[in-house]
């Protein structure tokens, strides 16, 4: 039990800290919570964590298969870039109207917020190399073993960590407005600038082949794979 608790908190800590740097999803959650309320932001966060834990589960058991579909992942990266650019444009449009009631129409649409968060996270393959890298470290240090109980605790921790990390932005956005006495209009300009910078960085990485797809491609064949560990564990048990 103590081992499982440790795995849970390790997954939660990695996920929470990984959610804190400025990124498309947490900034979108902040903008959404400011314009549509905390409930919308939290539903969006639940969609994000659902997609992320699916990515983690897949990366734990099927990395070799993922590497064979780099063209699909590359297409997803271009789609993600387009979404980020659109978020920037609509943020600037909302800010330019100088009306506090004007919202980013890409976020404040009729789609349920849970599905919006799920789709936006699912279209972003950057989680795959991130979590495969961390999982490999944990496998190497024998913190994580190829057991369903370990996987379940690890993924549960990751989901909660992602949710808490996103909530920092959800509740921090309103607090920022109150503390700085800033209007939603000014924040739209700031958020639009962040999305623009994010899009530029993403495009630069893709052009320089330093993006998520390249990281997946560069994964070494001799890195530790869960399926290989499972086979080794079974062989050891039979001896």
Residue 37 has a pLDDT of 85
DSSP letters, the chain, are -HHHHHHHHHHHHHHHHHHSS--HHHHHHHHHHHHH-HHHHHHHHHHHHHHHHHHHHHHHH-HHHHHTTHHHHHHHHHHHHHHHHHHHHHHHHHHHTT-TT---TTTSSSS-HHHHHHHHHHT-TTHHHHHHHHHHHHHHTTSS-S-HHHHHHHHHHHHHHHHHHHHHHHHHHHHHHHHHT--HHHHHHHHHHHHHHHHHHHHHHHHTT-SHHHHHHT--TTS--HHHHHHHHHHHHH-
Residue 207 lies in a domain: yes
239 domain-assigned: no
Tally of structural domains, the chain? 1
- Contact between residue 185 and residue 99 where contact means Cβ atoms under 8 Å apart: yes
Whole-model pTM: value is 0.76
Indicate whether 163 belongs to any domain. Answer: yes
Q: Which domain holds residue 181?
A: 2-228
Q: Decide if 234 is inside a domain.
A: no
pLDDT, residue 214, reads: 58
pLDDT tens for the 239 residues of the chain, in order:
788 999 999 999 999 998 888 888 888 898 888 888 889 999 999 999 999 998 888 877 766 566 566 677 677 778 878 888 888 888 888 777 766 666 677 777 778 999 999 998 888 877 777 887 788 788 888 888 888 888 899 999 999 999 999 999 998 877 776 666 556 677 778 888 888 888 888 788 778 766 555 555 555 544 545 545 444 433 333 33
Whether residue 216 contacts residue 66, with contact meaning beta carbons closer than 8 Å, is answered with yes
């Amino acid at each position: 039990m103590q081992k499982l608790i440790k795995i849970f908190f390790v997954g939660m800590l990695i996920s929470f800290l990984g959610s804190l740097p400025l990124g498309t999803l947490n900034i979108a959650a902040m903008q959404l919570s400011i314009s549509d309320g905390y409930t919308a932001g939290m539903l969006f966060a639940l969609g994000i964590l659902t997609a992320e834990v699916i990515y983690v589960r897949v990366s734990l058991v099927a990395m070799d298969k993922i590497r064979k579909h780099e063209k699909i992942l590359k297409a997803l990266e271009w789609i993600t870039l387009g979404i980020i650019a659109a978020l920037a444009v609509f943020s600037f449009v909302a800010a330019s109207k100088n009306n506090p009631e004007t919202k980013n129409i890409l976020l404040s649409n009729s789609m349920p917020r849970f599905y919006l968060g799920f789709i936006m996270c699912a279209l972003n393959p950057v989680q795959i190399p991130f979590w495969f890298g961390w999982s490999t470290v944990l496998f190497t240090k024998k913190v994580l073993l190829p057991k369903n109980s370990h996987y379940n605790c690890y993924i549960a921790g990751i989901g909660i960590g992602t949710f808490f990390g996103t909530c920092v932005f959800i509740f921090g956005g309103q607090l920022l407005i109150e503390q700085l006495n800033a209007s939603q209009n000014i924040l739209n300009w700031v958020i639009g600038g962040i999305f623009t910078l994010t899009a530029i960085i993403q495009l630069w990485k893709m052009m320089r082949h330093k993006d998520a797809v390249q990281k997946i491609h560069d994964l070494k064949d001799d890195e530790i794979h869960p399926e290989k560990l499972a086979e080794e564990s079974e062989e050891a048990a039979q001896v």
